[in-house]
Structure 1
């Protein structure tokens, strides 16, 4: 515990809970960490640290490095193609980039060698390069792939969870390699039932993750910690200046609002000779706070105009929030005549059924288990009376989409098609506002 977390306060503790089992670590009267266990917690996984801890830094003494540089090639064996192919595929978009990948572990090397674990080498063009002479990205990734390969081989049952923590893995990877790594890990997560967590400050990494999978840790002035989930990349990174150079920036709540505005901009030819960017931020308070930061810090430059467009059901709350927090700025504020995606689905599919929308979604998205069956499951569960925000209904719908390899984006696209076709008057009102802002 001290190795990983450093010196801690006497009353510090860590408690985790999974499937009814708990594990707690607290300091005893002697100041030593002691574990208290209750129930069976059967978890497997690995941790890869950023600077000091983790597999790639456990053999970093100069004496060990000299030993490994002089090792006899006869002691090396061919590493698994899983590691070699994915190392080349992720870093160079070429699975055959590394001609040969070799490995040696401490038991095979013999008594004269004092390193721990597994060391890798690659051969290219007749030259052998040890793991410690590889680039930082190669060194990092070969360790991660090795740890992942061990877990893959050890997966006796895919029903048991396996958790991986990767700490700031982007520090040594090119953005293009990072995108390929994320795609690869998504495949591994789906195939082997992994839960993979990154800690990161990379906008490239966060930008490729769905908002429902982003957990933003925000520390407030009183020292308390809040976890925001789902969280949109724009709010998590606050790096709006990355979007400087745009003529117009619209801050909206979610992906539904973004798609509505995108569609209207294209439909009414409002994008000619203009660079327009739409940033979903997640929740009206996030949008308002981000807008305030834009004003205070000039995050998008002096050329860009900034507008805020919130969902129509939060107008009263948004105005009260701004009044309470004394938020006064000259950023134009408008409201969509639609609610959040979750509320919209509940209103149109359960409270007052829109048969045209129901048929459209059934025809294009719900081929095996119909939307009618899903809604009946929702009704019979008895939770609809308390589900004012529609989140319980949406969860049922989302789970079925995932089973059919569909996504929230597919659902949003269908809903916007319906809005543009059948709610013409309201869409025209939004279009008129956009024309006014972009003129």
Structure 2
């Protein structure tokens, strides 16, 4: 199930539609600076959170609006006579919380210095011990030590003088005899204690884990060290599974994106005419558009998807081509993404002069890729070759429907699709679709993917089985591509 969000004339976004899954897991909304990713996250949070719209979006046009649709129910925010108004039609059962940017995520706005000083010296008797969930996870994420913060206290917002303009809890930690208020914590501590408090409140409010709950976190990497980010990812993965949270990051951090599945990455592409498009799925390499995390390798293969990566890694191992060299295979998305990224890598020297870049594309895009290269007039002379197999989606449609390969059909049916058979999935697909309009197999793959998710299986498991099957067949075309690798790695 997906939350459909349509944003019209908000900040730099003229018109954008994005469909956000609400199933548990980690998701990333990314894009280059100025692409509108933070605006998307902020706008999407309006589905469950009443924002001061003028503060967050500034001056907007009279026909600005944000529309939501989930399972037939609709909500909207729209401008009318200069004011923002809300519309609802149907029951939309969804919860969540939003942690905004450093500007709008600050818990202590509209407060003067004298008020802050009073909170610094507040009587300890007015404080209560913060939950261990917040104290221990704050220590684990920031310091890799759950006991780092000896004491963590909280001043509940309901006990705060209403004249102070505070509507959130205020935290204090104590180390030895020193007590530090949240106003004087580091930016990372300030951010994390607020997020952990919001998660703690939401955890205790989960009367039914069946109700969807979204978390939107905007550019949290600005305040956290890379090692803390990785520990935060592990923590969020755990609570996502435990409490059924769909957690969205607005980010361009490779530390965050590298831990998220391509299916869960939404890349907002802004074109020269300021029009926008959403690329999903999107591989981390394309989403970050930088490869500094992959520098230091002797050879880097840029490929389209995880099937290509698995095939190449298998060839390299079987042919003993990895001796005394560091080789990395990097999925980037469609063939145009691979070609564009390769051009950028070479022209900008993103991985250093010691790394050799090579392109390996799926076998069915040979003519299209040559035409694309000619049209773009790229002249980087990067070695290029093609796999003897099309994309995973095309391969499955070809092997299971168009020209049935009985061996792979039986293999997948026996070991992957045991509860709902492949035959039933195919019949359902055929009855609901015009097969002539699914030449790339993407529609068929959605049926496959839906059943995989229902059985807690992954695309990776499917890919491994197919790659092993291809090698067991001793396909002669694999020998040709192996010879290409041997030549380029020598």
So what's the TM-score if we normalise by structure 1?
A: 0.91
1:402-422 deviations in Å (ceiling 9; x for gaps):
333322112211111111211
User: 1:92 matched to which residue of 2?
Assistant: 143
**Are the aligned partners of 1:105 and 1:116 in contact in 2 as well (CA < 8 Å)?**
no
Distance 1:36 1:251, change over 3 A: same
Q: Residue 240 of structure 1: which of 287, 291, 301 is its match?
A: 291
User: 1:70 matched to which residue of 2?
Assistant: 121
1:277-426 equivalences under 5 Å are 277-379=328-430, 381=432, 384=435, 386-426=437-477
Distance 1:52 1:101 in 2: 25
How far 1:210 moved relative to its partner? 0.5
Please state whether the residue corresponding to 2:107 is helix, strand or coil: helix
The reply on whether 1:17 has 2:69 as its aligned counterpart is yes
How far 1:274 moved relative to its partner? 1.6
Distance 1:423 1:347, change over 3 A: farther
1:141-161 deviations in Å (ceiling 9; x for gaps):
111111122222222333332
How far 1:50 moved relative to its partner? 1.9
**Are the aligned partners of 2:107 and 2:168 in contact in 1 as well (CA < 8 Å)?**
no
Distance 1:37 1:379 in 2: 37
Distance 1:365 1:121, change over 3 A: farther
Range 389-398 or range 138-147, more displaced: 389-398
How far 1:90 moved relative to its partner? 2.3
Please state whether the residue corresponding to 1:8 is helix, strand or coil: coil
How far 1:40 moved relative to its partner? 3.8
1:200-243 deviations in Å (ceiling 9; x for gaps):
12111111111111111111111101111111111111112443
How far 1:379 moved relative to its partner? 4.5
Distance 1:180 1:367, change over 3 A: farther
1:38-49 equivalences under 5 Å are 38-49=89-100
Aligned length: 438
Unmatched 5+ stretches in structure 1: none
Distance 1:119 1:363 in 2: 56
Distance 2:489 2:185 in 1: 51
Larger RCO (alpha carbons 8 Å, 6+ apart): 2
**Are the aligned partners of 2:111 and 2:164 in contact in 1 as well (CA < 8 Å)?**
no
Kindly report the root-mean-square deviation, in angstroms, between the aligned alpha carbons of the 2 structures: 2.5
**Are the aligned partners of 1:312 and 1:339 in contact in 2 as well (CA < 8 Å)?**
yes
Unmatched 5+ stretches in structure 2: 1-52
**Are the aligned partners of 1:216 and 1:227 in contact in 2 as well (CA < 8 Å)?**
yes
1:292-327 deviations in Å (ceiling 9; x for gaps):
212332222222221111111111221222233333
The reply on whether 1:180 has 2:224 as its aligned counterpart is no
Distance 2:213 2:279 in 1: 24
Distance 1:416 1:407, change over 3 A: same
Range 385-394 or range 213-222, more displaced: 385-394
Distance 1:274 1:111, change over 3 A: closer
Distance 2:458 2:465 in 1: 11
**Are the aligned partners of 1:98 and 1:122 in contact in 2 as well (CA < 8 Å)?**
yes
How far 1:437 moved relative to its partner? 1.0
How far 1:60 moved relative to its partner? 5.5
Distance 1:438 1:355 in 2: 36
**Are the aligned partners of 1:241 and 1:299 in contact in 2 as well (CA < 8 Å)?**
yes
User: 1:159 matched to which residue of 2?
Assistant: 210
Distance 2:231 2:426 in 1: 38
User: 1:132 matched to which residue of 2?
Assistant: 183
Distance 1:72 1:437, change over 3 A: same
How far 1:372 moved relative to its partner? 4.6
User: 2:130 matched to which residue of 1?
Assistant: 79
